[in-house]
Amino acid sequence: MMMTQTDVRSINLPERQLDMWRDDTVFTKNPDLVLLPSGKILCVFNGCDYHWPIEFSKITLIESNDRGRTWGNTRFVAASYPSRGQEAWITPRLSRLRDGRLVINCDQNDYRHAHEEQASGIYTWWSSDGGESWEGPHPTGIPGIEPDHVVELDDGTLLMGTHFMRGDTQKLAQAVARSTDGGVTWGDLSIIASDNVHEYCEGGIVPLKSGRLVCIMRENNHINYPSYLSSSDDGGRTWSNPVEAPFSGDRPFARQFDDGRTLVTFRNQAGKPGLYAWLGDIETEAGYKVTRATTGVSHRTIMGDHMEEKDHRQRHSEGVTLHADHLAIEASGDRVNRYMLLPPESHKSRVTFEATLQVEGAAGVAAAVVQIANIGLLLTIFPDKLVLTGPALKAGVHAVDMTRKRTVRVTLNRGLTQVFVDGVRVLSRLVHRQAIWDRSYFGNSPDQAGAVRWFEVRYAVLNPTEPAHAWYWSAGSGAYPNQYEIDRWLEIDYNSNPRPDHGYSSWLSFENGDIFVADYSNKTVAPGKAMLKGYWLRLSDFEQATLRSD
């Protein structure tokens, strides 16, 4: 039996996409949608000159009367001109309340409002005539940046999520403010997630049919932590400890369907850049899932006393085949295939990586690599040796015939890193300091050649404060290491721009089962600009999507 590695399910097809709004002199970003009782869709977004506005930023409205197929009636709610000393508007959000009022909330310049001790820069605008006219801006007093859209609870309480840096941890924290007077005043700030390790931000609060609230958050360390989930059973006053989500994305946007499943759209941070989606039971499904990176990965190489970093992009599911007893990864040129692992909390974590493998290739030519974030550990595997390097480690080399089937184990225990081959210790090094070392993975890097047969892999992490983590995979299972990703994630759009910029999505569902998603993208626009794109999908796409490897 042999199977070629497949990508995740995809609906990245021209007939599923449209250009919503485009002006090659404008960078459009951060759209948000509401559906009015008349069937009209309103979309708010920021129209500015660049991703970080220099000359202008305008909170812009457009509308559609045919469920997203055509858009028009462009108008501006507010404008600012940073070149004239005004603070730029950043991320507008749009909500419709049960009394029919519409509210736009938006933040200002991140650098003046991102710390908990800085002044508030979040404002609201209100409309009582379906968005034809707006009254505002009104200061909310809510600290932080990148607010969530306003969420209305059953008792009329309004919630608005926000995030900011906390002074005691110097890490981002996700929080939520409350209003009990219809949005006139805001207060009663509650912390949703905050600790000494994670950068919790851009949380989206979703009311569930069970009465519970769940906040789905971006994790901004970007060393392959997934999104995180916290829940509240008391209307957002207190929140559970964050747990890992089964997807890895920025700016997650979610709503629950009548059947209990929750759809989440997000900017993929686990590998191939693009707009992705996940569908499942957000209350019961959690836990880190191994993903595969083939695009947008960086490779850092020790060059004397400094590091050289290259960015390599590859679009094809080439070089990986699953056999009855092993997974073969072939390295060639810029071909990159890496299976991404949950990083340890710090260099004080206890880590074990163990793999049974066999190498084919020319002596002296690297064929594979194992990298562990936060420790500064890079184990490069050759047919004739193992090389241990990293900014927190002195280099070590051990000659060994890796063309034979071997079990290699790497451990970190209270500052001591050791490498074992078939149970015999061959290298020992001390880790003196924290070293953020990209991401944790096993696979290959650019400029490597040859092939490696991976028979099984074990990975375990015991952290000082974070929950322990353990993962095991065997080729004998008949599944790829990233099988969950293949089965459960859906690619909506792939961003082929060498510097992809996209991923603040919003979506609406209709009674016929159609789902319309809005996002921004710099995929096919002038350099430094972006456009609004629309996409159509259905829940059945998660079972019927065409497997593509483009």
Question: Phi/psi of residue 486, each to 5°?
Answer: -60, -40
Q: Three-state secondary structure along 154-217?
A: CCCCEEEEEEEECCCCCCEEEEEEEECCCCCCCEEEEEEECCCCCCEEEEEEEECCCCCEEEEE
Size of the chain in residues:
550
Q: Would 317 be classed as within a structural domain?
A: yes
Residue holding tokens 């559970």?
240
Whether 179 is in a domain gets the answer no
In a domain, 134, yes or no: no
Range of the domain at 383: 295-481
Residue 34 located in a structural domain: no
What element of type H or E holds 543?
Answer: helix 541-544
Q: How far is CA 54 from CA 108, 363, 411, in A?
A: 13, 53, 49
Beta strand 306-312 pairing with 424-430: unpaired
- Residue 445 CA, distance from chain mean position: 22
Two tokens, residue 506 = 């919003």
Query: How many folded domains does the chain comprise?
Result: 1
pLDDT attached to residue 375:
86
Q: Fill in the DSSP letter of residue 291.
A: E
Distance from the Cα of residue 54 to its chain's centroid: 27
Q: Please enumerate in sequence order all residues whose Cβ is within 8 A of that of 424, keeping only pairs 6 or more positions apart, or say none.
A: none
- Considering the domain boundaries, does residue 188 fall inside one? no
List pLDDT tens digits, range 28-38. Answer: 999 999 999 99
Please tell me the predicted confidence (pLDDT) of residue 294.
79
Encode the chain (550 residues) as per-residue pLDDT tens digits.
565 666 788 999 999 999 999 999 999 999 999 999 999 999 999 999 999 999 999 999 999 999 999 999 999 999 999 999 999 999 999 999 999 999 999 999 878 999 999 999 999 999 999 999 999 999 999 999 999 999 999 999 999 999 999 999 999 999 999 999 999 999 999 999 999 999 999 999 999 999 999 999 999 999 999 999 999 999 999 999 999 999 999 999 999 999 999 999 999 998 889 999 999 999 999 999 999 987 544 433 333 333 333 333 334 457 899 999 999 999 987 788 999 999 999 999 999 999 999 999 999 999 999 999 988 889 999 999 999 998 767 789 999 999 999 999 999 998 899 999 999 999 998 888 788 767 999 999 988 999 999 999 999 999 999 999 999 999 999 999 999 999 999 999 999 999 999 999 999 999 999 999 999 999 999 999 999 999 999 999 998 544 433 3
Return the pLDDT at 435: 80
Does this model's pTM top 0.85? My answer is yes
List of residues 6+ apart from 104 with CB closer than 8 A? 44, 59, 77, 92, 93, 94, 124, 125, 127, 134, 136
For residue 334, the domain's CATH number is 2.60.120.200
Is 434 a domain residue? yes
CA gap 522, 271 in Å, rounded = 18
Cβ(21)–Cβ(532) under 8 Å? yes
pLDDT of residue 545: 46
Whether 343 maps to a domain, the answer reads: yes
Quick check: 336 and 316 in contact, CB under 8 A?
no
CA distance 32 to 34: 7
AA identity, residue 27: F
pLDDT tens column, 417-456: 999 999 999 999 888 878 876 799 999 998 899 999 999 9
- Between CA 451 and CA 481 the distance in angstroms is 17
Whether 189 and 228 have beta carbons less than 8 Å apart is answered as no
- DSSP-assigned states of every residue in 436-473: --S-EEEE--TT--EEEEEEEEEEEEE-SSSPPEEEEE
**Is the residue at 207 inside a domain?**
no
